[in-house]
């Protein structure tokens, strides 16, 4: 993986922003600017959805940062369905107004990746973790800790993007994917991890510390 430049708008949104602004301009020139007002509102929504600001990444090699912007909807002991182990699960729900770029929660190597097609139920519900379309990464830190990071599609999300493969090395806070529209990211941590967030807390991708390993 190479560093992703931060031009404010995520690369996944360049085409959408261009089309929405072009449509608003065309209607404005052809029919009048009042008629184009709804299209300008839509263009502003598209721009805010695809924004991708740079983030200062805190901590050390044992720090786990949030892989997504949003709200904490689960902090619990659960079975990691990918590594078949007991784990501490932390889940972040993203609504349509959050930044939707995803960043690595830890420094480590991608050991494996699993994609599962599925449904599109409300990502705020716990059953979304097992029933929705999802993409999971198994990350092993430089200290040998295993962390599973799962991108989960939401009620209106229709595409999960992941740009890494087994063998790739990631730094915590490094961009690895994107989910279009409301969605969720689950992180499964070793039971020995000390979680530092709580239910309902608002977190920022790559900037909020979730736990220490």
Give SS3 for 27. Answer: helix
- Is 21 within 8 Å of 29 (Cβ atoms)? no
Residue with the two structure tokens 């085409």: 15
Phi, psi of 93 (to 5 degrees): -100, 130
- DSSP per residue over 83-96, as a string? TTEEEEEEEEEE-T
DSSP 8-state secondary structure symbol assigned to residue 140? E
Give the H or E element holding residue 166. none
Q: Is 20 a catalytic residue?
A: no
Question: Which of 36, 183, 192, 196 is the catalytic position?
Answer: 183
Cross-strand partners of 189: 88
Known catalytic residues? 183
């Amino acid at each position: 993986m190479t560093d992703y430049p931060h031009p404010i708008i995520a690369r996944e949104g360049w085409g959408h922003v261009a089309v929405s602004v072009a449509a608003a301009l065309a209607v404005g020139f052809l029919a009048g600017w009042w008629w184009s007002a709804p299209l300008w509102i839509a263009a502003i929504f598209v721009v805010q959805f695809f924004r991708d600001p740079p983030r200062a990444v805190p901590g050390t090699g044992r720090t786990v940062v949030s892989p997504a912007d949003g709200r904490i909807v689960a902090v619990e002991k659960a079975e990691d369905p990918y590594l078949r182990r007991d784990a501490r699960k932390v889940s972040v729900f993203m609504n349509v107004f959050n930044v939707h770029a995803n960043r690595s929660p830890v420094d480590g190597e991608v050991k494996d990746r699993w994609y599962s097609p599925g449904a599109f139920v409300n990502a705020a519900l716990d059953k979304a973790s097992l029933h929705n379309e999802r993409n999971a990464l198994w990350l092993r830190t430089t200290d040998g800790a295993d962390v599973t990071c799962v991108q989960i599609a939401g009620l209106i999300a229709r595409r999960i993007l992941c740009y890494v493969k087994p063998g790739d090395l990631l730094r915590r806070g490094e961009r690895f994917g994107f989910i279009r529209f409301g969605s969720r990211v689950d992180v499964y941590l070793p039971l020995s991890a000390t979680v530092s967030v709580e239910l309902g807390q608002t977190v920022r991708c790559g900037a909020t510390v979730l736990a220490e390993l």
